[in-house]
């Protein structure tokens, strides 16, 4: 499960020896995030976001469990209990603002984590399973965040629940009954609020479980790195602790400063004022807008304005097209490892891919985010349609084609060479000695893909 | 290979459907169709800038002006409370406005709240106690609508958080009443329906609330501040900011401590990171 030169856990005291025999939990931690996990020495700051995502999951669970002690999932009183938390619970305002903005920060770090994976092709063999589990985590997060936003039972909570569950009503035949079944009624009410609360409490622990699988799958091939060249020898790696624990500690500090700035000085800037109005089924807000982290997908949903019809016969109504496209926009990530067949991982060595990434995908996501939050009027509708078309073209058409025709730049021989300019014994300082005998053997699951070798 | 070929086909199909059935018809309609209609109120609506000089609680170092909050409370009590509830605020909370415990007791007792007769069990009314919440001006929504030309006066506890830039919005709304420019109104075919009032800072410029602050000196302030309409509006906007978020100032002050600590801790983390990685960094090429 690890490289041959990975340090082994050696219990020092009688007590730790006893523990190691009975339940080797310290050994597990040591091998997972301690000195026993060798990590490429050249990771940049983009590799901080996995740990940060884990941190925000913990923040959400801790603040959420305490908030649940003071909240009541009942449509009559839910809005009032949230105000009770804000006014009467000791530091309740801090807990609630940390939880609400913690969700936003969880998505910020997850999006950076995903885009890191897209740029450095972290989804490629031998790491497909890590990527697939990551997409599962993302889908679970979206469900959890959506249900959490319903709980304060404000206007946006209510109408958001109405709109999102209404998506299922677009399905032919089973749509309407399915929506009624999901909500437990014809409109969001007590039944919906209760089940959303129950699931909102449950799903974070499911996410934590999948995160464990995600990290387990990560430890089989080890972390990827900015060159995309696999680890070959001991000098390519450093132990996770203390090298990356210290770097993650610094990264965590920086993100916490940003997070607390939002929590303490601009706690409502990412929310919507309408959610401070109690849910009212008889009054529809002028603009129903989801939370910012759903906006790109909301824009894709709304991009389909015309029914798929020929000769006056409607084959697929526009609403169903939008729903299919919205789900497809995330599901397409599940086949990404097999769409992009370029043997080179890192975007740094892929001139064509890099252009499409920075000038295609990133502007598209920004345009989709803006259009998702804008009212459904021109020019936003046309912009979102163009961006949606590019989004699908990028993953389904452009990536398969450029991975076929692109001429990648020469890769460095090893990570050590990429970092210090040469890879000769004795020139490295730290990261352990270079041992010619210690050259890594092929890992289980890593294909002996000759093209991953240096191109020259 | 099959997956990639299938992906290309599906990708092209999605794009074709989007372009042919949504994008092209939408574009033709946008380019050659009739222009989208705009409501006449667009010609009048103005974004206000809030009171001159802003509020004392604005900004990262903001604090409450306790005298202003007390004046705002007086405006609420003498004007707004006739129609608007304040259901999430209790009399005990008034202690935060600088009133002593005895003053809060007296203030609470000056309100009439619903109660139950201890002898007969019948519903009755009694003077308020500090633990009571502000009473509702109407028995229920139907009574509220019936008394107000079918518009239900909203609860004000959270008003400044329930509107964008809420503190300034409340001030602007209270000072935004007036007459629509008759020339412009004739041009766009605009008139204020009977029973509504023109207010240039209300999103659709016709508001059901009659102007609540109509003359200077409507409230006589105990501290001698001149009760002009802008002054009363500013005071009550400040008071409603406090009701919406009593922890606002405490929040900002806590924030400075937290961020100060975090900057210190992050600096230490950065130094230890540099210390650990010393000698591991690439040579400058």
pLDDT in tens, B47-79: 888 898 899 999 999 999 999 999 999 999 999
Q: How confident is the model at residue B283 (pLDDT cuts 50, 70, 90)?
A: low
pLDDT at residue A253 above 80?
Answer: yes
Phi/psi-derived region of residue A184, left when phi > 0, alpha when psi is between -120 and 50, beta in every other case: left
Mean pLDDT of A70-80: 95
Confidence of residue A3 (pLDDT cuts 50, 70, 90): confident
CB contact under 8 Å between B276 and A243, yes or no, is yes
Q: A83-90: long-range contacts (C-beta < 8 A, 24 or more apart)?
A: A83/B88, A83/B157, A83/B158, A86/B245, A86/B247, A87/B88, A87/B93, A87/B246, A87/B247
Of A17-31, B111-125, B180-194, B222-236, minimum mean pLDDT range: B180-194
Residue A436 has pLDDT above 70, yes or no: no
Radius of gyration of chain A (CA): 25
Q: Output the CA–CA distances (angstroms, integers) from residue B234 to B50, B65, B99, B221, B240, in the order listed.
A: 9, 12, 20, 14, 10
Cβ <8 Å between A430 and B279: yes
pLDDT of A133: 97
A20 catalytically annotated: no
Rounded distance between C-alpha atoms, residue A96 and residue A98, angstroms: 5
Mutate which of B3, B11, B131, B261 to disrupt the A interface (most A C-beta within 10 Å)? B11
What rounded mean pLDDT belongs to chain B?
Answer: 90
Active site residue A219: yes
Averaged pLDDT for residues A304-318: 84
Decide if pLDDT at A78 tops 70. yes
Q: Do B247 and A261 touch (CB under 8 A)?
A: no
A397/A450: higher pLDDT: A397
Q: How far apart are CA A73 and CA A378, in angstroms?
A: 40
Gap from A243 CA to chain B (nearest CA, Å): 6
Report whether pLDDT(A426) > 60: no
Question: What are the residues facing B206 on neighbouring strands?
Answer: B198
Mean pLDDT of A419-446: 52
Q: What is the mean pLDDT of residues A204-209?
A: 97
Whether residue A242 has a cis bond before it, omega within 30° of 0: yes
In angstroms, what separates the C-alpha of A21 from chain B's closest C-alpha?
Answer: 32
Distance CA A218, CA A209 (A): 14
Mutate to test the interface with A, among B9, B13, B21 (most CBs of A within 10 A): B21
Beta strands in B17-175 (DSSP E): 112-116, 123-127
**How many residue pairs bridge chain A and chain B with CB atoms within 8 Å of each other?**
172
Could you confirm whether A223 is annotated as catalytic? yes
Which CA distances in Å does B74 have to B50, B107, B246?
Answer: 21, 11, 17
pLDDT at residue A428 in the model: 46
pLDDT at B35: 74
The interface pTM score, or ipTM, of the predicted complex is: 0.92
pLDDT class for B167, splitting at 50, 70, 90?
Answer: very high
Q: Residue with structure tokens 């965040």?
A: A145
B116 has a chain A CB within 8 A of its CB: no
β-sheet bridge partners, residue B116: B123
Task: Compare all CA atoms of chain A with the CA of B284 and give the residue at the minimum distance.
Answer: A420
pLDDT for residue A76: 93
Stretch (H or E) spanning A400: helix A399-405
Per residue in B227-259, pLDDT (tens digit) is 999 999 999 999 999 999 999 999 999 999 999
Given a cut of 60, is residue B274 above it in pLDDT? yes
Per-residue pLDDT, A1: 53
- Residue A455: HSE in the Cβ half-sphere, 13 Å Cα cutoff: 14
Cα atoms in the Cβ-side hemisphere of radius 13 Å centred on A112: 16
B18: chain A residues, CB-CB within 8 Å: 303-304, 325, 385, 388-389, 392
* Residue B24 pLDDT grade (very low, low, confident, very high; cuts 50, 70, 90): confident
Q: Which of the four pLDDT bands, split at 50, 70 and 90, describes residue B41?
A: low
CB contact under 8 A, A420 and B11: no
Give yes or no for a contact between A109 and A53, defined as CB atoms under 8 angstroms apart.
yes
pLDDT average, residue stretch B184-197? 83
pLDDT tens for A35-59 read 999 999 999 999 999 999 999 999 9
Cα–Cα distance list, A317 to A388, A392, B93, B107 (Å):
18, 20, 54, 62
Structure confidence at residue A309 as a pLDDT band (50, 70, 90): confident
Dist. CA B279–CA A146, nearest whole Å: 47
A291 noted as active-site residue: yes
Flag if B259 and A274 touch (Cβ within 8 Å): no
Q: Which of A101-110, A366-375, B276-285 has the lowest mean pLDDT?
A: B276-285
Residue positions counted in chain B = 285
Distance CA A350, CA A227 (A): 11
The answer to whether the peptide bond before residue A224 is cis (omega within 30 degrees of 0) is: no
Q: Which residues in chain A are closer than 8 Å to B246, comparing Cβ atoms?
A: 87
What pLDDT digit, counting tens, does each position of A263-294 carry? 999 999 999 999 999 999 988 988 889 999 99
Asked whether residue A386 carries a pLDDT value surpassing 60, the answer given is yes
Tokens of A75: 């449509």
Chain A hits for B273, CB-CB cut-off 8 Å, are 246-247, 249-250
- In this model, does residue B172 exceed pLDDT 80? yes
User: The tokens of A71 are what?
Assistant: 């909240």
Q: Which residues of B touch A377 (CB under 8 A)?
A: 36
Per-residue pLDDT at B240:
96
Within 8 A by CB and 6+ apart from A23, the residues are none
Rounded Cα gap, residues A278 and B130, in angstroms: 26
* Residue A7, burial from CB neighbour count under 10 angstroms (0-12, 13-18, 19+): middle
Q: Which of A230, A234, A248, A340 is catalytic?
A: A248
Flag whether residue B7 sits within 8 Å of chain A, measured between CB atoms: yes
Question: pLDDT of A108-143, one tens digit each?
Answer: 999 999 999 999 999 998 999 999 999 999 999 999
């Amino acid at each position: 499960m690890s490289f041959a030169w990975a340090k082994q856990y050696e219990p020092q005291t009688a007590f730790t020896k006893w523990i190691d025999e009975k339940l080797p939990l310290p050994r597990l931690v040591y091998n997972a995030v301690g000195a026993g996990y060798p990590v490429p020495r050249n990771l940049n700051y983009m590799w901080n976001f996995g740990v940060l995502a884990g941190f925000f999951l913990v923040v959400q669970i801790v603040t959420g469990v305490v908030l649940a002690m003071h909240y009541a999932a009942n449509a009559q009183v839910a809005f009032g209990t949230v105000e009770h938390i804000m006014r009467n619970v000791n530091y309740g305002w801090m807990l609630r603002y940390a939880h609400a903005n913690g969700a936003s920060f969880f998505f910020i770090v997850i999006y950076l984590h995903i885009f890191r994976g897209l740029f450095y092709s972290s989804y490629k063999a031998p790491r497909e399973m890590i990527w697939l589990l990551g997409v599962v985590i993302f889908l679970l997060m979206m469900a959890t965040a959506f249900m959490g936003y319903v709980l304060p039972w404000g206007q946006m909570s209510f109408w958001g629940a109405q709109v999102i569950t209404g998506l299922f009503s677009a399905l032919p035949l089973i749509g309407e009954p399915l929506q009624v079944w999901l909500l437990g009624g014809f409109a969001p009410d007590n039944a919906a609020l209760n089940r959303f609360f129950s699931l909102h409490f449950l799903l974070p622990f499911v996410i934590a479980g999948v995160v464990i699988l995600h990290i387990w799958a990560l430890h089989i091939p080890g972390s990827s790195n900015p060159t995309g060249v696999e680890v070959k020898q001991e000098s390519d790696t450093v132990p996770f602790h203390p090298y990356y624990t210290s770097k993650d500690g610094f990264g965590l500090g920086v993100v916490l400063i940003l997070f607390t700035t939002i929590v303490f000085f601009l706690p409502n800037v990412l929310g919507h004022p309408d959610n401070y109005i109690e849910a009212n089924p008889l009054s529809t807000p002028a603009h129903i807008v989801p939370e910012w982290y759903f906006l790109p997908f909301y824009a894709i949903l709304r991009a389909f304005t015309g029914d798929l019809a020929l000769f006056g016969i409607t084959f697929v109504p526009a609403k169903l097209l939008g729903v299919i496209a919205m789900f497809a926009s995330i599901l397409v990530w599940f086949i990404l490892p097999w769409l992009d067949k370029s043997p080179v991982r890192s975007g740094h060595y892929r001139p064509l891919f890099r252009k499409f990434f920075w000038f295609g995908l990133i502007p598209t996501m920004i345009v989709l985010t803006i259009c998702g939050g804008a009212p459904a009027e021109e020019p936003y509708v046309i912009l979102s349609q163009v961006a949606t078309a590019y989004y699908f073209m990028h993953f389904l058409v452009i990536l398969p084609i450029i991975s076929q025709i692109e001429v990648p730049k020469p890769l460095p021989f090893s990570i050590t060479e990429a970092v210090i300019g040469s890879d000769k014994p004795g020139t490295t300082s730290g990261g352990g000695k270079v041992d010619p005998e210690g050259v890594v053997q092929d890992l289980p699951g890593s294909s002996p893909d000759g093209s991953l070798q240096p191109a020259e | 290979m099959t997956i990639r070929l299938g992906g290309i086909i599906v990708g092209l199909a999605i794009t074709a459907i989007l372009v042919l059935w949504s994008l092209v018809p939408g574009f033709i309609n946008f380019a050659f169709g009739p222009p989208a209609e705009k409501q006449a109120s667009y010609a009048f609506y103005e974004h206000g800038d809030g009171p001159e000089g802003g509020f004392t609680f604005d900004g990262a170092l903001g604090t409450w002006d306790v005298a202003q909050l007390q004046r705002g409370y007086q405006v609420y009590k003498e004007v707004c409370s006739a129609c608007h509830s304040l259901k999430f605020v209790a009399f005990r909370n008034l202690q935060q406005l600088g009133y002593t415990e005895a003053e809060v007791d007296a203030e609470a007792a000056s309100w009439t709240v619903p109660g139950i007769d201890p002898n007969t069990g019948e519903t009755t009314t009694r003077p308020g106690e500090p633990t009571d919440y502000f009473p509702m001006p109407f028995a229920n929504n139907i009574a509220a609508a019936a008394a107000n030309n079918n518009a239900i006066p909203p609860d004000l506890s959270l008003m400044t958080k329930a509107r964008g830039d809420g503190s300034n919005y409340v001030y602007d709304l209270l000072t935004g009443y007036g007459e629509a420019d008759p020339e412009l109104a004739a041009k766009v075919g605009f008139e204020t329906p009977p029973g509504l009032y023109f207010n240039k800072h209300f999103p659709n410029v016709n508001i059901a609330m009659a102007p609540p602050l109509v003359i200077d000196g409507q409230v006589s302030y105990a501290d001698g501040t001149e009760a002009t309409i802008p002054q009363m509006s500013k005071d009550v906007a400040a008071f409603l900011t406090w009701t919406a978020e009593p922890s606002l100032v405490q929040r900002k002050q806590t924030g400075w401590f937290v961020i100060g600590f975090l900057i210190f801790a992050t600096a230490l983390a950065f130094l230890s990171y540099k210390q650990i990685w010393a000698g591991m960094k690439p040579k400058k090429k």
